[in-house]
Amino acid sequence: MKLPGGWSPPARALRLIATSGARALGRPGLGHILPDFLLIGAMKAGTSFVFASLAAHPHIIRSRRREIHFFGSRFSRGVPWYRTHFPTGLEMRRYQAITGEGSTSYLANPDSPARIRSVLPEVKMIALLRDPVDRAISNYFHEQRTGRETLPIAEAFRAEESRRVEMGLGHLSYRTRGLYAEQLERYYTLFPREQILVLRSETLFAEPAKVMAQVCRFIGVDSALDTREYEPRNVGGYDPAKVPVEVYEALTAFYAPHNERLYSLLGRDMKWRPHALSPSP
């Protein structure tokens, strides 16, 4: 039996043993390399799926945990601490591999671009952008399931600004996280555009194999080595019937100018439909 990405179970086990041993022997700041790529967001836009898919590739060794948030809330811990989350040079040479991480906070955090530039000026970044109306609603129901959100959906969206002033850009920043144009502009002022791959989440959900091949080419690994058969998937987790129509209307009106700004910035229409009626999750 072959595992996804062409690894047999014994080969995968041997690689994990070798990886764990090399990391145990490593010292912070010595031997451990820095990432070749970052998945920078957005939240609830398919980044977990992309990261898991890349981690199964035979020439990609993932970070010890997917969301490190170093360039966000943990920057004060320092680069040596950050390095310990990644493979050693020995591992990378042995498997002719690259490595990366995916922290969905990086796209929306205004401090992240400059921090990334200071540590990883040549890193490749992948940004997944989902229709911000759907993304905000999905985000709300995710936070409700975790127990962090207790307000009804319309009330939660109305309360966002006062919460943000009080708590900063946190889990409950539903609308703010969908302001993609201003978020990408911060990156474009510091990085060449060719270092940032901007993908439409809806295309990923509908054609995952096609989008993953594009991602592999972007980060420099052979997409032909990825032998998996992807199942088309969507990001759900909530019942659209539970969302009042006025919530869709308010979010659609809110995002309309921001979406136009994004289309102009990217030079392409993301084809996010008007939300006159409740869409599918």
pLDDT in tens, the chain (281 residues): 333 334 455 655 665 665 555 555 544 334 689 999 999 989 999 999 999 999 989 999 999 888 999 999 999 999 999 999 999 888 888 889 999 999 999 999 999 999 999 999 999 999 999 999 999 999 999 888 888 888 999 999 888 887 765 555 566 789 999 999 999 999 999 999 999 999 999 999 999 999 999 999 999 999 887 666 666 554 556 777 789 999 999 999 999 999 999 999 999 999 997 754 444 44
Quote the pTM value: 0.83
- Cβ pair 156, 172 in contact under 8 A: yes
Nearest partner of 34 among 78, 2, 1, judged by Cα: 78
Q: 56-91 as b/e, with b when 16 or more CB fall inside 10 Å?
A: bbbbbbbbeebbbbbbbeebeeeeeebbbbbbbebb
Beta-sheet pairing, 98-102 with 37-41: parallel
Strand partners, 30: 27
